[in-house]
Structure 1
Amino acid sequence: MTFNFPYGFNFLHLNELVLLIPLAFLVLLGLWRKVNRRHLFIHSLVIFLLIMALAAPYSVEMNSPGTEQTRISIISDESVSMDLLEKGVSKEVADELNTKVPVTVTAISGIHTSLGDAIIQQASPENYVLVVSDGQSNSGTPVEEALSYCYKNNFPVSALIPKTVEEDLSVEIEGENEAVIDNKAFFKVNVRKSIDDRMSYRVRITVDHQKVIEKEITQAGRMESIEFNHTFETLGPHTVKATLHPASISVKNLDYFENNNQYMKSIYVTPKPKVLLVTNEPGSPLTNTLKEIYDVKIAGSFGSLNNMDAVVIDNQAASTISDMEVRALKDYIINGGGMVVVGGSSSFDYPAEDTYQNTRFEELLPVTSTPSSWRGGRNVVLMLDVSPSTLESNGIGGKVIDDILSNAIVLLESDLLKDARVDVITFGSKGQDITNGFVDMSKESNRRWLDAEIRKISPSGDSTSLERGLMTARTLLKEQGNSSEAEIIIVSDGGIGNIAERDLRFERAVQCAENLYENNGIGIHFIHIHSPKTTRQVTPKGQYYAALFMNKIGLSENYNRIEPGERIKVSFSEDSAESENREDEYSSGSIVVYDPKHFITRNISEIQYDIYGYNEVTPKPEANRLVITRLGKPIISVWRLGLGRVAAITTDNGNGNGVPWAVSLYSGNDSLIITRTLNWAVADTEMSGGIQLKVPDLKMSQPGRILITTGKAGTPELYFDKKPMEITSIGNNMYESYVTADTFGLHKISETPLEANLTEELMSETSGVKNASWRPAAVNRPDEYTYVGENTLFRTAVLENGGKIYTEGDVYSRIIEDASTSTKKKILTRVFYTKHFLALAFLIYLVYTLHHTYNTRIK
């Protein structure tokens, strides 16, 4: 085990230092017995040095070992999607470079691209990897993960992206594969284009072989989307199909591939789920919304829950729900039922004498009926500097990195961030996301996990590039949308200046920060850990780069310079006048999506209208906040309880007592958030035989995962195109199976071996069969034909992971020098001092012995 001591000095074996205790005892005993002090001091010093040598003292140094020879490995992407790009680039580059350095070429081909796997296989410290590809990868290790792995291990990876020379269109349909009868099902048709030139085409959308949309489109960008909805009026299997017309236009040299000009989605339409609505207001907007979607049974009190897919409890006081009913609800939910509790003047925290607080019913809910002090809705990116300069001594017995990490932990433990969603990234020569997304700090388990992850951070990279860190932060915050406040906190030693005269990384960082603050409203704070030994900390005019950086973006008040050992407190709060203005701007009813990744809130960018009231609640640690007011008050919270799902909608049913709180949530586009919540809570509809299936869109020659749930004991027996499916248990009554099809069209999953591969015409004839015991599975062309042209995210991923992007014009002049430089990576090495302590002990003892012998015998 390694132990850390002050002043950058470390010992490998701390246990050996225990010998210092008896040494100290012997010294005290010698002083008490009045032993010759010179003799006692010399022998004690020698023994002390020997004990130190036994403990294996060492220090950590940064070294740059070089390799004797540069080797370039070219990954040549020759998969199908590369047919659209300029051909022969890999061979041309390899032939040219082979005359100067050793070059190996590894080709990947076929209808599946495992680009990430190829990168990991070729990467090594001595191997400079050049990826010649469009960046499209559809199997194996994701490219982002592969590049991140290479960066962490100091494996250089760069890219050359050939020019896209062929025009191609592809079409794809997004949407759920299940729908409820007589309800709107929402779909999105995406048309992708390989290059940015303008192109006209006709798109046709059909449902069960009947045309619903046909329009002419002139597309200039890389992707065009068409959103539409359809109401299915019959049960059973259906199809939605999108076709680019004419289906084959390659003869006009307008479209390269033909097989990606059509896409088919299979839909299974289920009966309206049965919902029990417990309410005293049967004419409320909530009731009307439920009736449109479900088979609703309205009651003023609880009855039997048998055969019910979900129960909705609307504005019911705690006193009206007996302990027997709570036990029945708990059994129902744990065994897979769904429950939605809607607020109002008689639920959660109302009335004061009859709230849900500390009741058995509250145990089932994702919230407690206590006011929330949470002022959430803030996304915080914590940027930690891990460049080599942070290994410098901080002058008080540690290193600068210790102060950076300590300040980060203090921030996480402060009340400031206890309700925020935090993402921690490190930056040296690139920005690295160490939390893999935002973490909800209201959960104590998340806080402890993040604390442990921060303590593991160690310096990496070979330089400091604040711009790379800011680019990574921008990408992370962009994914969260604009509904929440966003802040970036930079903790750094301030070594962010330019290295040489023509280096512009500081100016680029300023430009990036200005864009984040001025155009996106993202607040930026800079915590500067002052270290006199840090290079690139001070400008030639004597000004700190960190202070200059914050001054240039107009946020000098957010700059904090602290000395080693000090801890910072950052405040996001405004003065009282600003706070009042904020309260006015964000009225109590201004609500936003807090978690955009959940099924309920996915693709809902904003909620247009305000609500006028809500119940005061606090989400439990295990619950998920989905929708909140801009002041942080929870409106929709959910959690899983056993096999079931529970949602709390803490505003009213749109009718209210006197003044309605939430009329707008039950009409127009805003009503989608309510229907999504109800759909999430409803149990999955079964096939005959009590089997529930989750069937995705399948791709030709690619295994597709089918999820199976059954209420019966034993493994179910199912068939895919008349062939028995291999089914594996993955949990209590839960199973999975992987199926593969090689032909385009509709296929069957059934409980008996039915005929396989229906045509769309036959499909339309069999649609609407009530209680059909089979499910449709649409099989489309492989993903290789869906994402066409250059993947623009590939460039960003390479740059953010310390790589470089070459062009065909500059690759020959730059790559050899870059490869030679990149193979000389800075690494941390231990320098042991055992022999130095032994030599010093021997020398002292020898000199003293000679001196003593001379004085006592020779003289």
Structure 2
Amino acid sequence: MVPATLVRPELVRLELVRAVARRAAVPGVSVPGFDATVEFARPAVLAALPVAAVVLGLLVLRRGGGRAATPDAGAGRRARIALLATRTVVVACLVVAAAGPTTVTTATTPGDPTVTMLVDRSASTDVYPSVADDLEAAIESEGVAVDRVRVAAGNRSRVGDGLLANLRPNGSVLVVSDGRVTGGASLARAADVAESVDATVNRVRLTPNRTDRRVAVFGPSKVSVGVENRFAVRVSGVESGESAGGGGEGANGGAAPTGATVTIEVDGSVVDSRPVPENGTVSVTRNFSSVGPHRITARLNGDDVHAANDVYRKTVQAVERPRVLYVSRGDYALEEYLRRLYDVERVAEVPEDLGDYYAVVVHDVAAPDLGSVGALQKYVIDGGGLVVVGGEHAYEKGGYGSSQIASMLPVRVGGSTGRRSQVVLAVDVSGSAKSGMRVQKSLALDVLDQLGGQNRVGLVAFNRQAYRVANLTALDGSRADLERKIRSLRSGGGTNVARGLLGASNLLGDRGGTVVLLSDGRDAAKPSFAAADRLESRDVRVVTVGVGSVNAKVLRGIAERTGGTFLPADETNRLRVEFGGPNRRYDGDHLVVVDDGHFVTRGVDPTASLPGSNEVGVKAGANLLAATGYGAPALSAWRFGLGRVVAVTAYGADGSLGGLRTRPASLLLSRSVNWAVGDPQRKATGVVSAPDTRVGRPTRLVYAGEERPSVEGISFSKVAADRYEARPVPDARGYRDVLGSSFAVNYRAEYAALGVSPALKRAVERTGGETFGTRQASAIADAVTQQTTHRRRIERRWDWALLLAGLVVYVGEVCARRLGRYRGRGAIP
């Protein structure tokens, strides 16, 4: 990988102009009667022409300005004018040659206008009318041949594989499909390949003429006996007769179900039956009183295309409450809260033997009073769970920094906000970012606003190269200057994310730091990931912020490889927690979820106000899940050895957990302990895991015991001591009993996602394709003809010709003067 180029700040704009000029962004000059455009690679050089002409005139004409009139004075003056003219021509040739004159013409090569029509006749497309036959005939009547290929049928939808197999360099395909892929390559992968070979993906807009709905049940697969749990029954699908403008193609979960009733059964007994509500979701709460598998079945009643997806089955394994050790020296309400959910034993300090517990909760205990921290560390490394709750006697206030417990925690003890960091903003100014450049700048300014003044911040802009816009300086004294430079950025040129990353890393230097990359990620993954690996080795973390039509795969991959985070454009306020100063707050003073993709925080919108917090900072590799309203870490998690550790570092004004004990914030506490507990059957024997599956897809059965189990039709293999696994592939829907456990088999994936896939729409947008109606055969024929007609830009440089012309004029003028002297005429004194 070639290192990224870094230039001085004052040269940034000129370098960007040069980059754009090489891509023909600098306006050319059309010459009448000449089928070409004249462009200059370095147009700024032309400014030297008038200056050179004035200087040359002064030098030549002043030589005879003070002489008396003689009979030869007129001849001398004419000779000087001739000399000025010839020297002016020579200088003009040199200056114009230095400006890089180029003539640009366009050569058009007609291609073979054949429509490659990819037709999907899988079960999920039964809600749409069959349009392929009529469309094929109509296109061919426009004089364009059609090559028709079936890419999916029945229960197999390998649309991505079909698209990959039919891509041609500079070619075009027309997809007649809902884009629902159930196997093989994804449409995102196919779009990557299409972009790399300059192929275009078009599609036909499909409007449903039949109704189909599907039902699904969501909720925990393992629960504790006697603990109330909530399950969601969701109905979605496509409705016939919808207009294209109103979502007529349908989207999974997007259509409002009408005219259907959902019935919910638990262990064979009906617990609810009602018309499907407008939002499509029905909630059910259940408290299972007996250990073992339980069954939740949801049924739809109503006419639609497929009956298979009108029934959904879910198994729930009820287990004994996990044993949790509660370590505390004070009387806190948390203990009572935990006892409602787990089998809790309270002690004053950590004992030597922790083998009977699924998790240990340490609540506001100082390091000298913790007890056997060595036994706790071994317990966690071997797979145990640990939740450490802060307060006035914990973390920095309890001497954790010098204790053995510090290594297990996902946070550093001491100094959460306000610490000094090195941060470089890397802003994508390539041509692909042009349409969203206003948003790009706005986001860059917003990111800058998240950073506290104690940080050292620099700025790099990149397209095919990286340009150093501002060196690392303390933000306190340079914020206004950085804001001005961000507003002055201009777009142009190609995209090379790797160059931008390496340029930002070079600006950080040997000390490492953080790069905040603002880009759409529209670049090849391989070089971008290679650059990310290099940054990781330099101790540089990358936070990627997606802007515009984002290639999330590239941006997320860069972040993951460097231990950073991928943020959507509307979530940059998460940067406040790590880089914000004490005066840089979230909106409001309540708890804020920072990572809503984690089990602990998913779907939780807390409203608790927690004014107290321990002074901690999140370690690299840990997940910051929630923060306080003033930007301090409140909830963090990571894995330590085989175990899981959660740090609760915010608390109420009185030192208790305050609003964290009431819904919805209380879910953060219970889920934290649940996440730390992990599998509540990991100490059990028998079938300890039997996940639900679909017809045609395997499930993974795990059996714990000394001997290999024997089950008719299922073969178990030994994978570890006292551990056996089997992977049966069921071929029919229903419930299956296995050695005292149970799992559900639901309808095939083909019936699980309805409506046109967003992935297909994104593939069309990424490749510059179009979406056509079923009666737009003429437009399809014209578009394919244009897409297969190749235009080449032919550039011809003329600097050599101008240099040659200048040389000829100069030599001719010298020869003429020598000849004049030889003959004694017209000599210039």
**Aligning the two structures, in what range does the TM-score lie when normalised by the shorter sequence?**
0.5 to 0.7
1:804 Cα shift? 1.5
Aligned to 1:749: 738
Aligned CA distance change for structure 1 residues 153 and 370 (closer, same or farther; 3 Å): farther
Cα deviations across residues 529-548 of structure 1 (Å, max 9, x unaligned)? xxxxxxxxxxxxxxxxxxxx
Aligned to 2:610: 611
State which of 85, 88, 93 in structure 1 corresponds to 2:135: 93
Q: TM-score, normalised by structure 1?
A: 0.63
Aligned CA distance change for structure 1 residues 232 and 392 (closer, same or farther; 3 Å): closer
CA distance in 2, matches of 1:410, 1:203: 57
Aligned to 1:284: 332
Which amino acid in the other structure matches residue 118 of structure 2? I
Aligned to 2:268: 209
State which of 697, 701, 715 in structure 2 corresponds to 1:703: 697
State which of 800, 813, 826 in structure 1 corresponds to 2:778: 813
The answer to whether the 8 A contact 1:384-1:426 is kept is: no
Aligned to 1:339: 386
1:592 Cα shift? 1.1
Aligned CA distance change for structure 1 residues 829 and 151 (closer, same or farther; 3 Å): farther
Which amino acid in the other structure matches residue 359 of structure 1? S
Task: State yes or no: 1:804 paired with 2:765.
Answer: no
The answer to whether the 8 A contact 1:718-1:724 is kept is: no
Aligned CA distance change for structure 1 residues 241 and 411 (closer, same or farther; 3 Å): same
State which of 150, 153, 157 in structure 1 corresponds to 2:197: 153
Cα deviations across residues 616-668 of structure 1 (Å, max 9, x unaligned)? 1111112111111244311111111121111111134x7xxx81453111122
Aligned CA distance change for structure 1 residues 233 and 395 (closer, same or farther; 3 Å): closer
The answer to whether the 8 A contact 1:90-1:132 is kept is: yes
1:330 Cα shift? 1.7
CA distance in 2, matches of 1:736, 1:411: 48
CA distance in 1, matches of 2:381, 2:781: 63
Which amino acid in the other structure matches residue 147 of structure 1? A
Cα deviations across residues 388-435 of structure 1 (Å, max 9, x unaligned)? 999999999xx95599976665667679x96787564245xxx99999
1:143 Cα shift? 2.1
Q: Counterparts of 1:241-390 in structure 2 under 5 Å? A: 241-245=297-301, 249-250=302-303, 255-281=304-330, 283-303=331-351, 304-322=353-371, 325-351=372-398, 355-373=399-417, 383-387=428-432
State which of 747, 753, 757 in structure 2 corresponds to 1:791: 757
1:182 Cα shift? 1.0
1:296 Cα shift? 0.6
1:91 Cα shift? 1.9
Task: State yes or no: 1:425 paired with 2:526.
Answer: no
Aligned to 2:258: 199
Aligned CA distance change for structure 1 residues 711 and 193 (closer, same or farther; 3 Å): same
Cα deviations across residues 128-182 of structure 1 (Å, max 9, x unaligned)? 2111012222222222332233223322111113220001221111122111111
| Structure 1 residue matching 2:233: 3-state secondary structure | strand
CA distance in 1, matches of 2:105, 2:377: 60
Cα deviations across residues 503-555 of structure 1 (Å, max 9, x unaligned)? xxxxxxxxxxxxxxxxx7989xxxxxxxxxxxxxxxxxxxxxxxxxxxxxxxx
Cα deviations across residues 245-277 of structure 1 (Å, max 9, x unaligned)? 3xxx43xxxx22222221110111111001111
The answer to whether the 8 A contact 1:384-1:404 is kept is: no
Aligned to 1:671: 666
Which amino acid in the other structure matches residue 96 of structure 1? A
Aligned CA distance change for structure 1 residues 627 and 584 (closer, same or farther; 3 Å): closer
| Structure 2 residue matching 1:637: 3-state secondary structure | strand
Aligned to 1:226: 282
Cα deviations across residues 824-850 of structure 1 (Å, max 9, x unaligned)? 568999999xxx9xxx9xxxxxxxxxx
CA distance in 2, matches of 1:204, 1:384: 55
| Structure 1 residue matching 2:614: 3-state secondary structure | coil
The answer to whether the 8 A contact 1:695-1:706 is kept is: yes
| Structure 2 residue matching 1:327: 3-state secondary structure | helix
Aligned CA distance change for structure 1 residues 387 and 624 (closer, same or farther; 3 Å): closer
Aligned to 1:601: 601
Which structure's CA Rg is the greater one? 2
Task: State yes or no: 1:470 paired with 2:548.
Answer: yes
The answer to whether the 8 A contact 1:76-1:106 is kept is: yes
| Structure 2 residue matching 1:72: 3-state secondary structure | strand
Aligned CA distance change for structure 1 residues 173 and 422 (closer, same or farther; 3 Å): farther
The answer to whether the 8 A contact 1:314-1:341 is kept is: yes
**Bigger shift: residues 297-306 or 268-277:** 297-306
Aligned CA distance change for structure 1 residues 160 and 423 (closer, same or farther; 3 Å): same
1:743 Cα shift? 1.7
Aligned CA distance change for structure 1 residues 793 and 157 (closer, same or farther; 3 Å): closer
Task: State yes or no: 1:76 paired with 2:119.
Answer: yes
| Structure 2 residue matching 1:597: 3-state secondary structure | coil
Aligned to 1:460: none
Aligned CA distance change for structure 1 residues 231 and 817 (closer, same or farther; 3 Å): same
The answer to whether the 8 A contact 2:687-2:741 is kept is: no
Which amino acid in the other structure matches residue 723 of structure 1? G
| Structure 2 residue matching 1:293: 3-state secondary structure | coil
Aligned CA distance change for structure 1 residues 259 and 612 (closer, same or farther; 3 Å): same
| Structure 2 residue matching 1:339: 3-state secondary structure | strand
User: For structure 1, which runs of at least 5 residues remain unmatched after alignment?
Assistant: 9-58, 455-467, 478-483, 489-519, 524-571, 751-773, 841-859
The answer to whether the 8 A contact 1:686-1:692 is kept is: no
Aligned CA distance change for structure 1 residues 585 and 724 (closer, same or farther; 3 Å): closer
Aligned to 1:624: 623
CA distance in 1, matches of 2:159, 2:310: 25
Cα deviations across residues 687-729 of structure 1 (Å, max 9, x unaligned)? 78646744332111x22342748597xxx74566x22336485
Which amino acid in the other structure matches residue 820 of structure 1? T
Q: Counterparts of 1:13-32 in structure 2 under 5 Å? A: none
Q: TM-score, normalised by structure 2?
A: 0.65
| Structure 2 residue matching 1:190: 3-state secondary structure | strand
Aligned CA distance change for structure 1 residues 180 and 384 (closer, same or farther; 3 Å): farther
| Structure 2 residue matching 1:815: 3-state secondary structure | helix
| Structure 1 residue matching 2:274: 3-state secondary structure | strand
The answer to whether the 8 A contact 1:651-1:661 is kept is: no
| Structure 2 residue matching 1:357: 3-state secondary structure | helix
Q: Counterparts of 1:174-189 in structure 2 under 5 Å? A: 174-189=218-233
Which amino acid in the other structure matches residue 333 of structure 2? P
Q: Counterparts of 1:32-111 in structure 2 under 5 Å? A: 66=109, 68-87=111-130, 89-99=131-141, 100-107=143-150, 108-111=152-155
CA distance in 1, matches of 2:115, 2:340: 64
| Structure 2 residue matching 1:809: 3-state secondary structure | coil
State which of 89, 107, 118 in structure 1 corresponds to 2:162: 118
CA distance in 2, matches of 1:727, 1:313: 39
Cα deviations across residues 364-394 of structure 1 (Å, max 9, x unaligned)? 1111111123699x99995452559999999
Which amino acid in the other structure matches residue 77 of structure 1? D
Aligned CA distance change for structure 1 residues 67 and 445 (closer, same or farther; 3 Å): farther
Which amino acid in the other structure matches residue 609 of structure 1? A
The answer to whether the 8 A contact 2:288-2:318 is kept is: yes
Aligned CA distance change for structure 1 residues 486 and 698 (closer, same or farther; 3 Å): closer
CA distance in 2, matches of 1:379, 1:779: 51
CA distance in 2, matches of 1:394, 1:62: 30
Aligned CA distance change for structure 1 residues 285 and 689 (closer, same or farther; 3 Å): closer
Aligned CA distance change for structure 1 residues 472 and 138 (closer, same or farther; 3 Å): same
Task: State yes or no: 1:659 paired with 2:654.
Answer: yes
Which amino acid in the other structure matches residue 365 of structure 1? L
CA distance in 1, matches of 2:631, 2:639: 22
Which amino acid in the other structure matches residue 660 of structure 2? L
Identical aligned residues as a percent: 23
User: For structure 2, which runs of at least 5 residues remain unmatched after alignment?
Assistant: 6-14, 20-101, 240-254, 435-461, 469-491, 556-564, 805-829
Which amino acid in the other structure matches residue 139 of structure 2? L
Aligned length: 624
Aligned CA distance change for structure 1 residues 400 and 172 (closer, same or farther; 3 Å): closer
CA distance in 2, matches of 1:776, 1:644: 27
Which amino acid in the other structure matches residue 227 of structure 2? N
